[in-house]
C-alpha cells in the first residue's frame, strides 16, 4: 500500500467511445538495435489506410505510439474516423547521451530504456509512449532510481487530488482504490526515488500520450508489463526536458520539436532552443532548410525532419513509403482498462 500523486483526468470523448473487438496483432514495445555508425535516429516511418473501423488510437497502440504522436503526425484527421493515408511516426531521435537505464523526455512524451547487455551482444533501446502531468502539475527533472516494484498496487489518494476532483467535478472522489482493473495505477507500478512519482500502467489506455497525470508517467498496460519484467530495482532513471531534438541518420541531420511544458521554470524560448541546437549542427548555414525549421516551430511534429535543404522534405519522404493496410481488429471498449492483454508476454518479477 502506498500514496502516489498520479491519477489523471481523461477527456470524456475518450471514455465514451466504444468499438467491439480485440487486437489480433499486438506490438509490445518498439525495440531497436542502437546504431553503431554514430547515428542517433532509430525506427522508420509507416503509412497506410485505416480499415476495419480502426481509429488513430487503435493504429497508434498497435505500433506503440501515443495519442499526441498520432494526432500531430496526422493534422486535421479525425481521431475516431480517420480517412485517407494515415502516417505512423515510428521513427525517433534518441535522447542525449548517456544511454543507460531509463531516460524519459517529458515534452516528447516518451520513455527510452537502455538495457544492460553482456559483452559482445548488440546494445538495444526499447521505447514506449507515456502520459505526462496535466497542466498545473509536473514531473521532477533530474536523476533518480527505481526503488521498488509493485504488482496489483493499491492507491491511497492524496488529499490534494481529492480536492481537485471535488472542485472540478462537483462530486466526492474516492480516498482509496483497491487493487484491480479499475485502479488508476493499473496492475503494475515502478516506484522512483522522486516522492510519490511512479512509472505505471493505467485503467484508461486511450489517454496514453496526453497530459493526464499528477506527475506520474503512464504506460499502456502491455508496456507496463514489458518494462516491469525487465527493470530491476536500482535501475537509473533520468528525466529530461528537451522539446527540441537534433539527431543524425547516417550523416543526415534531422530535427523534431515537441510542445514545451510550460510548468518547468527558467527554460529558454523555443526559438532560442532551436537556434542553440542549430549551432551544433555541422552544416553550412546556407544549407539549412530554414523554411522547414520555421514550420516545425509553428507546428511541432514527432516526425524527424531533414535539416539539409538538399535532403527530401517530409511529404517527399512519405510518398516513397509503400502504403500498408491497417486492417487489424480494433482494440475495443474492453481494452480501455488496466488489464494486461491476455496474449502479452508473461510478467516476471
Q: What is the DSSP letter of 116?
A: -
- Helical ranges in 17-158 per DSSP H: 56-62, 67-73
Tell me the C-alpha distance between 297 and 260, whole Å.
11
Instruction: Please state the separation of Cα 140 from the chain's center in Å.
Output: 17
Which stretches of the chain are DSSP H helices? 12-15, 56-62, 67-73, 159-169, 221-230, 270-278, 290-298, 314-319
Residue 303's contacts (CB-CB under 8 Å, 6 or more residues apart) are: 45, 73, 87, 89, 91, 256, 314
Of the candidates 6, 216, 218, 238, the residue annotated as catalytic is 216
What number of H helices and E strands is found in the chain? 8, 21
Q: How far apart are CA 30 and CA 209, in angstroms?
A: 15
User: How many angstroms separate the CA atoms of 48 and 137, rounded?
Assistant: 37
126 CB-contact burial (10 Å; exposed 0-12 / middle 13-18 / buried 19+)? buried
Catalytic (active site) residue 6: no
Concerning whether 216 is annotated as a catalytic residue, the answer is yes
Task: Spot the catalytic one: 46, 62, 200, 204.
Answer: 200
Pick from 35, 250, 46: which is nearest to 125 by CA? 35
Assess whether the previous peptide bond of 98 is cis (omega < 30° from 0).
yes
Q: Is 248 in contact with 42 (CB distance < 8 Å)?
A: no
Looking from the CA of 34 toward its CB, the CA atoms found within 13 Å total 19
Find the DSSP H helices in 108-264.
159-169, 221-230
Phi, psi of 207 (to 5 degrees): -90, -5
User: What secondary structure letter does DSSP report for 37?
Assistant: S
Catalytic residues: 200, 216
Amino acid at each position: 500500500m502506498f500514496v502516489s500523486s498520479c491519477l489523471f483526468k481523461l477527456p470524456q470523448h475518450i471514455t465514451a467511445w466504444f468499438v467491439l473487438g480485440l487486437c489480433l496483432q499486438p506490438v509490445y514495445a518498439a525495440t531497436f538495435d542502437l546504431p553503431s555508425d554514430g547515428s542517433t535516429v532509430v525506427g522508420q516511418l509507416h503509412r497506410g489506410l485505416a480499415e476495419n473501423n480502426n481509429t488513430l488510437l487503435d493504429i497508434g497502440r498497435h505500433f506503440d505510439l501515443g495519442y499526441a504522436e498520432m494526432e500531430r503526425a496526422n493534422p486535421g484527421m479525425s481521431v475516431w474516423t480517420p480517412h485517407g493515408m494515415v502516417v505512423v511516426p515510428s521513427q525517433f531521435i534518441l535522447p542525449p547521451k548517456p544511454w543507460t537505464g531509463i531516460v524519459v523526455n517529458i515534452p516528447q512524451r516518451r520513455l527510452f530504456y537502455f538495457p544492460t547487455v553482456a559483452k559482445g551482444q548488440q546494445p538495444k533501446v526499447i521505447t514506449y509512449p507515456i502520459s505526462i502531468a496535466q497542466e498545473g502539475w509536473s514531473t521532477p527533472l533530474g536523476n533518480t532510481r527505481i526503488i521498488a516494484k509493485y504488482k496489483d498496487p493499491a492507491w491511497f489518494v492524496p488529499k490534494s487530488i481529492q480536492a481537485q476532483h471535488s472542485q472540478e467535478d462537483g462530486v466526492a472522489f474516492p480516498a482509496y482504490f483497491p487493487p484491480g482493473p479499475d485502479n488508476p495505477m493499473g496492475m503494475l507500478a515502478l516506484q522512483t526515488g522522486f516522492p510519490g512519482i511512479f512509472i505505471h500502467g493505467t485503467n484508461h489506455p486511450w489517454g496514453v500520450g496526453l497530459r493526464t497525470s499528477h506527475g506520474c508517467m503512464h504506460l499502456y498496460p502491455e508496456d507496463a508489463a514489458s518494462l516491469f519484467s525487465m527493470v530491476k530495482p536500482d535501475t537509473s532513471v533520468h528525466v529530461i526536458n528537451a522539446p527540441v531534438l537534433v539527431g543524425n541518420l547516417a550523416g543526415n541531420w534531422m530535427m523534431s520539436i515537441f510542445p514545451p511544458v510550460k510548468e518547468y521554470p527558467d527554460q529558454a524560448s523555443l526559438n532560442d532552443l532551436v537556434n542553440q541546437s542549430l549551432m551544433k549542427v555541422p552544416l553550412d548555414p546556407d544549407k539549412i532548410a530554414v523554411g522547414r525549421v520555421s514550420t516545425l516551430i509553428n507546428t511541432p511534429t514527432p516526425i524527424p525532419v531533414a535539416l539539409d535543404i538538399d535532403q527530401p522534405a517530409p511529404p517527399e519522404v512519405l510518398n516513397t513509403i509503400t502504403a500498408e493496410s491497417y486492417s487489424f481488429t480494433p482494440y475495443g471498449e474492453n481494452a480501455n482498462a488496466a488489464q494486461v492483454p491476455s496474449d502479452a508476454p508473461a510478467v516476471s518479477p
